[in-house]
Structure 1
């Protein structure tokens, strides 16, 4: 999952900002896969709200749902599905959710909400992407290029070794025999062109010792 380190940090901030003792909003449980929150209205009615964090996070926002049909809650959740960029992050999602809920239930916004869910402490985010992920993508690309260059070098080295080996074999043949070998190759080539494949080397074609 992208931005895993950032997500873990956001979860810690959430748990610290909204403990189970909070009178309006509580983080009941939280992991990198799912978040369960509890909103408490001014009539002390409790609403459990869940968020599934998918593998595409934060490119897409968490998927929110609630165990209630109260339109105040369902409408607030629905608005969270239309966010983009940094608003897809969990801290920003919770901030938006709380503002929607407190407005819908005619309640005051929790004090210091922006300070509680401060994004400044998070790694710098550009267009919804963590710089840590960008660095990892760059390293992966650089590694792939190095592997390709290495494969090309090995291929060229193998070709050089093959050519050197062939040249070494030619050097091992006596000069007087090289002329005979060239003549045999030329004769065989002519035979193939004429459609007749030459047989064994004749005694007269064999080089003298």
Structure 2
């Protein structure tokens, strides 16, 4: 009598495919005879876990673990660090923000090593740069899909982070930015690396990455180049900006006041303070007027600005800082802002601005925001 052959379930087939894949991964990650210039971070592995260990700049051991979920590679590995080390923590946070096409464990280990080396100011191992070639030789750059594509997708591997794409990305980041502002960006990157090494990190990786992107976009924007506004970092801090609003609607009384302001006090701008927290861009920055003292324009006591956009209720993480600056300029004009010449320069302060803004938010949370008629803009 013939025995009935057991047909493996979909879950069993997926596990088998993952096991085959990990055999291939481990073949590269744990070579039989590792050399000094070829990093071998993986110390232990099993079907649902990869344990990595790295030596820090002070020969300290950094243990970083990846948990592989049942839905891998549709969902990425979950990384965490056993050690309280700022460099390792920052590298792991970087992995949490990767695009969906970077879910592959090999890609993530490669990015992890590159990030650790970059944050520690050391060069990447030579073997890491030849990974694409090694994967191509082993047939792991791409896997032909059969009719059971749902199963075979788990063996698919695509490495796109080659030197050409990296060079192109670097070129795109600096295109349209002048030399002076490129130097500012370079100082910021170096300062961030120094902070990681000293263990005195300010802000978060997420906020820092977004603010660097916002600053690059502002530096290459036409409005910035034409002098509509300028942005200066306070004490080279990415989280504290001084924004000088130099041009508003030329037909507005505020524009005429700015001309008089230049003649009387040799200043040609409205100075704004912009402070970011580590949860940016999911919370708005706090923006207030420093000088001159304004009447109207939805500017509150202390210099805070009455705008729903600047509250948690009205804010969206999709807003760019350039668009926020334009919205503020439009709000000042719509609110018929005028410069109070001769007003006390001590009228605006951070504490007063925070107090008045807090009161404003409480009132509007209770009563809602007033939407002006369409003819009012």
1:2-41 alignment to 2 at 5 Å? 3-4=17-18, 5-16=20-31, 25-41=40-56
* Higher RCO (CA 8 Å, separation ≥ 6 residues): 1
- TM-score normalised according to structure 1 size: 0.54
How many Å separate the matches in 2 of 1:52 and 1:138?
22
Q: Is the 8 A contact 1:60 1:84 kept in 2?
A: no
Cα shift at 1:54: 0.7
How many Å separate the matches in 1 of 2:93 and 2:34?
25
The reply on whether 1:115 has 2:130 as its aligned counterpart is yes
Local SS of the residue matching 1:106: coil
- Residue in 2 that maps onto 1:135: 147
- TM-score normalised according to structure 2 size: 0.32
1:139-178 alignment to 2 at 5 Å? none
How many Å separate the matches in 2 of 1:66 and 1:48?
6
Higher-Rg structure is 1
The reply on whether 1:47 has 2:59 as its aligned counterpart is no
Identify unmatched segments of 5+ residues in structure 2.
1-13, 152-377
The reply on whether 1:74 has 2:99 as its aligned counterpart is no
The reply on whether 1:84 has 2:125 as its aligned counterpart is no
How many Å separate the matches in 2 of 1:92 and 1:77?
13
Q: Is the 8 A contact 1:28 1:37 kept in 2?
A: yes
- Which structure has the highest helix share of the two? 1
Which string of whole-angstrom CA distances, capped at 9 and with x for unpartnered residues, describes residues 159-180 of structure 1?
A: xxxxxxxxxxxxxxxxxxxxxx
4+ runs of 1 displaced by more than 4 Å?
17-25
CA RMSD of aligned residues (A): 3.0
How many Å separate the matches in 1 of 2:110 and 2:32?
11
* Segment of structure 1 superposing worse, 67-76 or 10-19: 10-19
The reply on whether 1:97 has 2:109 as its aligned counterpart is no
Identify unmatched segments of 5+ residues in structure 1.
140-209
Cα shift at 1:45: 0.9
How many Å separate the matches in 1 of 2:40 and 2:105?
15
Local SS of the residue matching 1:135: coil
* Segment of structure 1 superposing worse, 64-73 or 78-87: 78-87
Local SS of the residue matching 1:36: strand
